[in-house]
Amino acid sequence: MVTIVCHDAGGAELICAWVKNQNEAYSLVLEGPAIKIFERNLGNVNLLSLEDAIINSNWVLCGTSWQSNLERETIRIAKKNKKLVISFIDHWVNYLERFTYNSEIVLPDKIWVGDHFAEKLAMEIFPNIEIELKENYYFKELKAQFDRYNKIVKGTQNIFLYICEPIQEHALLQHGDEYYWGYTEFEALNFFLNNTDVFSEKIDEIWIRPHPSENPEKYNWVNTFSNLNIRITGKISLYEEIAQASVIIGCESMAMVVGLLAGKRVITSIPSNGRPCSLPFSEIEYLQLLVKNG
Query: What pLDDT does residue 155 have?
Result: 64
Query: What pLDDT does residue 100 have?
Result: 87
Where in the chain are the domains? 2-135, 139-293
Inter-CA distances, 249 with 116, 207, 270, Å: 24, 10, 10
Q: Are 64 and 40 in contact (CB under 8 A)?
A: no
Residues of the chain with pLDDT below 70 are 153-156, 294
Would you give the DSSP letter of residue 181?
A: T
Q: How many helices (H) and strands (E) does the chain have?
A: 11, 14
The rounded distance, in Å, linking the Cα atoms of 89 and 20 is 18
Q: Tell me the fold of 2-135.
A: Rossmann fold (3.40.50)
Query: What pLDDT does residue 138 have?
Result: 95
Q: Which residues of 226-246 are buried (b: 16+ CB within 10 A; e: fewer)?
A: eeeebebbbeeebbebbbbbb
Would you give the DSSP letter of residue 47?
A: B
Pick the CATH number of 139-293 from 3.30.43, 3.40.50, 3.30.70, 3.30.310: 3.40.50
The rounded distance, in Å, linking the Cα atoms of 3 and 85 is 9
Inter-CA distances, 239 with 185, 226, 250, 257, Å: 22, 28, 15, 12
Inter-CA distances, 102 with 5, 72, 98, 130, 159, Å: 20, 10, 12, 24, 43
Q: Count other C-beta atoms under 10 Å from residue 252's C-beta.
A: 24
Per the document, the length of the chain is 294
Query: What pLDDT does residue 85 have?
Result: 98
SS3 77: helix
